Chain A
Amino acid sequence: MLNETKAGKFRIQGNTILVTIIFIFLTAAPFFMSSFRMNMFGKYMCFALIAIGIDMIWGYAGILSLGHGVYFGLGAYCMAMHLKLEASGGALPDFMAWSAMEKLPGFWKPFESTAFTLLAVVLVPVTVAAIIGSLTFLNRIRGVYFSILSQALAYALATFMIGRQEYFGGSNGLTNFSTIFGCPIQSTQTKIILFYCTLAALILAYVGCRFLVKRRIGRVLIAVRDAENRARFTGYSPAVYKVFVYCLSAALAGIAGALYVPQVGIISPTDINISPSIEMVIWVAVGGKGTLVGPVLGALVVNFLKSLISEQFPAFWQFFMGGVFILVVLFLPGGLVSIKEIPAKIKARKLKKEE
């Protein structure tokens, strides 16, 4: 229908190739990686899932959430509650016993059902996101204010979880699971199945989000990001679009949380607090916001490097991570996916100088 410009076409193809490589690599991973490494990549894929969600709200709709740990945590806790009940097999979960609880609190009961858990993993984060989102976006809290607010939210939830040891395991979080839907959680087979489940979720999320951003809604989101009031005076309701995309990203984070728990074996308030929430944003920034392959790449690369470097130089990985964040945001605002544009940029700068 329309002639795409050369630059546009080239860029899209570059990213398509990149994402194909990533997915092929991940699909093949269990065949050449030790189960430990594979398990770690499983975890990174959960992170990539969150990163896609964050990119949808930050890269496309311009909402920087520093509290996505909340949604990740809600999904993860829902799953963990189910696994914990499975592990304790009818008895009171261990942490409740030593918190002097006498019987299972009512809101834990439904989590005995697998179907309910799977629904809750998505619906709980989405409901919370819908409430928070509609309040803040209808009241036009934007930019930095929203970021700080979301940060407060993460902090509040984490503190709350820590304070309610009898219900949520306190700072220990929920851990020591034995089976997931009947399969032993430590066995390599289960891990492989979980790995592929995560990969499938990631691919689905990628394809789904790509579908969305190619639709008009993607352009509306960008419009809201670039000039929210203009979008409003073009007849769009920014709040509705923002709440939608915020809920979408909360759902992705919730699913990621649910897949994270059986693979890592623990969810604790530490993982939903401010620092991990900011790290989530950093994966997106490093990979390249505003593209869908960027966050996937960013989450995989940053976390892989983090694991690798903290294994090799336990005392110094913080230097490295801090350095990477600084350098990427300063000199590569487009993230890793924009590396290929650098030669062109340098050329342009040279030309300018010559002029």
Chain B
Amino acid sequence: MANPILQIKNASITFGDFKAVKNVSTTVYDNEIRFLIGPNGAGKTTLLDAICGKNKLSSGNIVYYNDGQEYNLPKIKENKIVNIGVGRKFQAPSVFSGITIYENMELAAVTNRGLMASIGNKLPAEIRERIDEQLQFIGLYELRNEYPTVLSHGQKQWLEIGMLCVSKPRLMLLDEPVAGMGRRETQRTAELLKIIQKECAVIVVEHDMQFVREVASWVTVLHDGEILCEGTMDEVQNNQQVIDVYLGRGGE
């Protein structure tokens, strides 16, 4: 396989007395679509939160590689993590409702997000093109001057994914990207992921098994904060342990 982009080393996360993630280690490679699956409360979202800096690790480390450099993510501030190429989409769609859809994209697309750069107004033609392209792809081009309040739940999800894409991350963390989407939209998201995959690695938390089957290159199953097993979708599906604790109980 290609180069590793993210290494989680013996990561544990505790909230008070509760151990949400216990000693998890895994490596994500470039151009991979990694799925985290597992029952509710397995620690999937918590793990994503730890990668992007929202939660603190109680022990272990998360290392991120980009451009030949090595970053210890737990030591870096959230916004800096984004600026070195790790993008995050949250479970509940969260976009900026006070500015237009185009402006939402603009904020995500600009490369220098410092104060001074924001007072200067220039938006390079290259970025503008990228935004237009992305808007067209997610089907929001016609709505670009509307405010996000007019969007449906699924459209908001897309807008958020679109915002992630234009920011050109190296590693993308998606939390339930197809929740609230219809079949057709889900399909389109799958296509989108395939395109994204060419340029970066993606970690997805998802419950929609069909979607997982369609796009996953590698699947990690979490249960009670621990890794139950890892492998391709087929391997995971046939793993007895997984069937017992997850698929069996879920009664799919």
Q: Which residues of A contact B (CB under 8 A)?
A: 2-5, 8, 212, 214-217, 219-220, 222-223, 225-227, 229-238, 240-241, 244
Contact = CB atoms under 8 A, between A and B. Distances in A.
A214 B121 CA distance: 9
B171 to A, nearest CB: 13
A230 B98 contact: no
A22 to B, nearest CB: 25
Interface in B29-76: 52, 54
Given A2-B102, A223-B98, A236 B107 contact: yes
Contacts of B232: none
A235 B96 contact: no
Nearest to A223: B96
Given A216-B121, A230-B96, A233-B82, A223 B145 contact: no
Contacts of B195: none
B76 to A, nearest CB: 12
Nearest to A243: B115
Band of interface residues on B: 35 or more
Given A227-B94, A234-B163, 19 more contacts: A2-B102, A2-B144, A3-B145, A215-B118, A216-B118, A217-B118, A219-B106, A220-B118, A222-B99, A223-B98, A223-B104, A227-B97, A230-B90, A231-B96, A233-B78, A235-B108, A236-B79, A236-B107, A240-B115
A227 B83 contact: no
A222 B96 CA distance: 8
Nearest to A220: B118
The 6 closest A-B pairs by CB, nearest first: A235-B82, A217-B118, A222-B98, A223-B96, A230-B94, A216-B118
Judged by DSSP, the binding face of A is: helix
B1 interface: no
24 contacts: A2-B102, A5-B146, A212-B119, A215-B120, A215-B121, A216-B110, A219-B96, A219-B106, A219-B107, A220-B118, A222-B98, A222-B99, A223-B107, A225-B98, A226-B96, A227-B94, A233-B52, A233-B79, A233-B87, A233-B88, A235-B82, A235-B108, A236-B107, A236-B113
Nearest to B102: A2
A9 B169 CA distance: 35
B185 interface: no
Contacts of A233: 52, 54, 78-79, 82, 87-88, 90
A215 B119 contact: yes
A112 to B, nearest CB: 36
A226 B107 CA distance: 14
A105 to B, nearest CB: 37
Contacts of A227: 94-97
Contacts of A225: 98
A313 B37 CA distance: 70
A322 B113 CA distance: 43
A216 B106 contact: yes
Contacts of B118: 215-217, 220, 241
A294 to B, nearest CB: 15
B115 A217 contact: yes
Given A219-B107, A220-B107, A234 B167 contact: yes
A215 to B, nearest CB: 5
A219 B115 contact: no
B19 interface: no
B103 interface: yes
Interface in B188-246: none
A231 B103 CA distance: 13
